[in-house]
Structure 1
Amino acid sequence: MTPAPVPLSGPRFQAEPAVLYREMRREHGAVAPVLLDAGIPAWLVLGYRELHQVTSDPVLFSRDSGLWNRWEDVPDDWPLLPVIGRGQSSIIHTVGARHRERAAMVSAALETVDPYELRAHAERVADELIDTVCGDGSADLVTQYAMLLPVRVLARLYGFSEQQGPELVTALNDMIDGRERAIEGQRLLAASMARLLAERKKEPADDVVSRMLADENGFTDEEIVQDLMVMLAAGHQPTTDWIGNSLRLMLTDDRFAASLFGGRNSIAEAMNEVLWEDSPTQNVAGRWASRDIHLGGRHIRAGDLLLLGLQGANSDPQVRTDGSALTGGNNAHFSFGHGEHRCPWPAQELAEVIARTGIEVVLDRLPDIDLAVPEAELTRRSSPWLRGLTALPVTFTPTPAVGGPSA
């Protein structure tokens, strides 16, 4: 009897995704049939080698959602439309030479960010956030810290004012997690980006948006707005979860105890382990088969949707037989994707600087920090796409604020 497709939803993605991925691999193999919202079928690629194949061949496994053979079954209010949309113009959906031009534009705009200035700004924002809680002796390091830090830093790089940060956080969280609010969140974020673009066309500045507008490849305003939305969404929530997941690991695993008392070497180790074992980006949509193909023992039809099972591939026992993947700073994980549509290198570097700075400031500013609840009581959001804590309550000895506005 053929095992039934697995619904890509439910509490197990919150409570035990690693166990669920193992079960899916055991029952279905490296490529598993799954059901999205409204019962829409897709394939989840769980095998490391199979995922490498899919992400290495953009012709056979296309980003063109117009190839999908299930569009007639998709309702107008489908909550995944902000992620899987027909005719979207963003960098993640373009292919070939046009994609390479847009990727080069994005990389060039991000490469000019001074890493020392970025770190200094991230540290100022982090200190400002810690100032609001350090005198209390307790805090939630997710809702009061990690959820606020990346978007404020990225907004500054793009050219937004500090005052616009809260509305961006709301729009992004609705777009990423909201389901029924996802389309509204996307609309609000697009409106904010369009306003900023109009402002910078009139008055350029030293920011990412102005540098993208100065590109000479003739991109439309709509294309640049779409790319800015993708960049901000991809940079905000995964970095937030990278901070939260790394802090959780360091607070609950004795191997990282030294870092809680002034050490620094194991911060990078904890962050790398999270990318292998507790990746903020678990699954990604998607690729569409341009013709019939066999993959991982499955017959994939032309137009079928394939989801990239990043965490499933990271934990594939075929490549993790001795646990060596976590040693020596090995970064052969899929947490930033792979192939020409992977997260651009400059964006990865920005995320790492923001996350590491955020963790270091917590450890510097909050002495004798400890979990306020047993580890078993920590909860994750119920999402198959992004994995992060809903809260990280901690206690510590109250300390005075350092003061001073962020630049």
Structure 2
Amino acid sequence: MTPPASAVPEHQAETGATTGGGCPVRPGGSAVPLSGPEFHTEPHVVYRAMRNEHGPVVPVELPGGFPAWLVVGYRELHQVTSDGELFPRDVGLWNQWGNVPDDWPLLPMVGRPMPSIYFTAGAEHRRHAAMVGHALEEVEHFELRQDCEELADRLVDDFCERGTADLITDFAVPLPVLVLARLVGFPDEDGARIAEVLRDLADGGPGAQEAHLRFGEHMGRLLAARRAVPGRDVASRMLAYPGEFTDQEYVLDLMAITAAGHLTTADWIGNSLRLMLTDDEFAVALSGGRHSVAEAMNEVLWEECPTQILAGRWAARDTRLGERSIRAGDMLLLGLGAANTDPHIRQHLATAGGPSGRGGNGAHMAFSHGEYRCPFPAQEIAEIIARTGIEVLLDRLPDLELSVPARELVRRQSAFLRGMTALPVRFSPVRSTGDFS
């Protein structure tokens, strides 16, 4: 059914013309479609054009014709993420549910009302966050680094003797999921299967919902195994946490931990390596020691943050934001990548002393902000995985260079996620670590 005008965002409530999703739009199509090659190639140019034409809050259209607001202003994004009462992460508030087909490809990303850390709000969210946060805080960082080094060495061993590799499929993508699988409680041999499921899920194509079901089945089997034989892992610590949680809640929270940590960390690694191979100044920063690696990777979170757009927040009542009239139930998409390039924040950083995005400034929005941001222990885990992986790779293969022109590199076909589909390199072949035993 078509929602009443009072339930439709301002930019789509002024005419009865409809898109394929049954959502009214203005004549001339003023809503910006969140699709197209420009999002994959030069998103900063797209965000600048959006900001110039529409201001800090942009009327956009999701695939299927669904209306939303994309928040591209840093100050406005800070306002939205700081006010969990006015803009909760409560997908049940969405005023478009009457139009959403069961097979909508973005459903796994947007979500449905369900009892997990990612799709609850208020006190219920805090209950889940306390349990998940406790389980992640207990991760021993020294052991985590050891696991990362071991698994990174194992991956490098698979290609180091041939002198060529695709650093995305051979390294950046498998490393985080192998580490996270071990961290959560899976045996090492299950890591590759989970990586495949998460790739299908992130693509948002026809197989996304089936991949989501398979992902849940993996977590259900893990939960049963850890209930029978507890271990020193996240799943076991979640089960031991005091409080009443259903098996569905445990499974959904484990899915959130693994999915959120996998592809974003893989893209953090991949984007860092791409810059190293295409930007001389960045390459020097990465090769300058452990401290400079951390600062260089922090710059990637400013310039090439893996999650460009995050769904989302939903207005609890009619309000104003960035001179826009936001209606109750409107979806607000968090333009994390756009906010990081907002000229207002860049000017502020420059005035504060130092180039924007450099020098370890952590005010970027790559992990979101506020009550629903990525939990701090999860941020630490992602940083350890990405940084350790890059250090191992550069130590083992110090003469990496692209094997194709930089202009031929292709990014993932997504407006929401920013990562490479391939990163082909060549290097001097070296012996595997197993050859020294």
TM-score normalized by the length of structure 2: 0.90
What are the superposed Cα offsets for residues 196-240 of structure 1, whole Å, 9 maximum, x if unpaired? 101111111111001001111211111111111111011000000
For residue 97 of structure 1, report the CA deviation from its aligned partner: 2.0
Q: Which moved more, 1:146-155 or 1:92-101?
A: 92-101
Q: Which runs of 5+ in 1 are unaligned?
A: none
| Contact map agreement 1:3 1:27 (CA 8 A) in 2 | no
Partner in structure 1 of residue 95 of structure 2:
69
Number of paired residues?
A: 405
| Contact map agreement 2:72 2:339 (CA 8 A) in 1 | yes
Matched residues in 2 for 1:214 and 1:339: separation? 27
* Pick aligned residue for 2:408 from 377, 398, 406: 377
Secondary structure of the 1:339 match is coil
Partner in structure 2 of residue 184 of structure 1:
210
Partner in structure 2 of residue 395 of structure 1:
426
Matched residues in 2 for 1:36 and 1:14: separation? 16
Secondary structure of the 2:434 match is coil
Matched, 1:315 2:341: yes
What are the superposed Cα offsets for residues 38-94 of structure 1, whole Å, 9 maximum, x if unpaired? 111110000111101111111111211111111111111001111223322211221
Q: Name the amino acid aligned to 1:358.
A: G
Q: Which moved more, 1:357-366 or 1:263-272?
A: 263-272
Partner in structure 2 of residue 334 of structure 1:
365
Matched, 1:154 2:208: no
Matches within 5 A, 1:37-56: 37-56=63-82
Secondary structure of the 1:334 match is coil
For residue 269 of structure 1, report the CA deviation from its aligned partner: 2.2
Q: Name the amino acid aligned to 1:105.
A: M
Matches within 5 A, 1:105-254: 105-254=131-280
What are the superposed Cα offsets for residues 292-323 of structure 1, whole Å, 9 maximum, x if unpaired? 11101111111111000001111111111237
Secondary structure of the 1:400 match is coil
| Contact map agreement 2:113 2:120 (CA 8 A) in 1 | no
| Contact map agreement 1:262 1:363 (CA 8 A) in 2 | no
Partner in structure 2 of residue 288 of structure 1:
314
| Contact map agreement 2:264 2:307 (CA 8 A) in 1 | yes
| Contact map agreement 2:106 2:204 (CA 8 A) in 1 | no
Q: Name the amino acid aligned to 2:392.
A: V
| Contact map agreement 1:260 1:369 (CA 8 A) in 2 | no
Matched residues in 1 for 2:33 and 2:434: separation? 49
Comparing both chains, which one has the higher relative contact order based on Cα–Cα distances under 8 Å and sequence gaps of 6 or more?
A: 1
| Contact map agreement 2:60 2:68 (CA 8 A) in 1 | yes
For residue 10 of structure 1, report the CA deviation from its aligned partner: 1.6
Q: Name the amino acid aligned to 1:232.
A: T
Q: Which moved more, 1:36-45 or 1:173-182?
A: 173-182
Matched residues in 1 for 2:375 and 2:96: separation? 30
| Contact map agreement 1:260 1:363 (CA 8 A) in 2 | no
Q: Which moved more, 1:61-70 or 1:145-154?
A: 61-70
| Contact map agreement 2:57 2:321 (CA 8 A) in 1 | yes
Q: Which moved more, 1:44-53 or 1:64-73?
A: 64-73
What are the superposed Cα offsets for residues 123-142 of structure 1, whole Å, 9 maximum, x if unpaired? 00000000010011111000
